[in-house]
Amino acid sequence: MTAVGLLDGCRKQGLRIPEDLSIISFDNINFAAMAGIELTTFSQHVDKMSKEATRLMLKQLENREVKSERVIIEPTLIVRKTTGPATE
């Protein structure tokens, strides 16, 4: 929601998005895809994170001597209209 507010504020100040400023958010909230907003965002796969957290917690409860485990869940970049092309 902060990025949506930033987008609105920038437009009110006359900034052109993405020509003058690119905005990227995270969490891929429902508002991000709405017409007029179309915010580039990272999807953090909260469903996968919660399933892994539950699996690890249950594993720890079943066997207290289990070592900690690192799980990496890569986010997905969803490019919409608030980012322009990369420049040098």
**16-53: pLDDT as tens digits:** 999 999 999 988 888 888 888 899 999 999 999 999 99
Q: What is the mean pLDDT of the chain?
A: 90
What's the angle, vertex CA 86, arms to CA 19 and CA 88, rounded to 5? 105
Q: What is the mean pLDDT of residues 5-25?
A: 94
How would you label 61-73 residue by residue, b for 16+ Cβ within 10 Å and e otherwise? eeeeeeeeeeeee
- Quote the pLDDT of residue 86: 73
**The pLDDT of residue 65 is above 90:** no
Q: Which H or E run includes 53? A: helix 46-62
**The pLDDT of residue 10 is above 90:** yes
- Quote the pLDDT of residue 88: 65
Evaluated on CA atoms 81, 28, 12, 88, the torsion sign reads: negative
Give the CA radius of gyration of the chain: 18
pTM above 0.85, yes or no: no
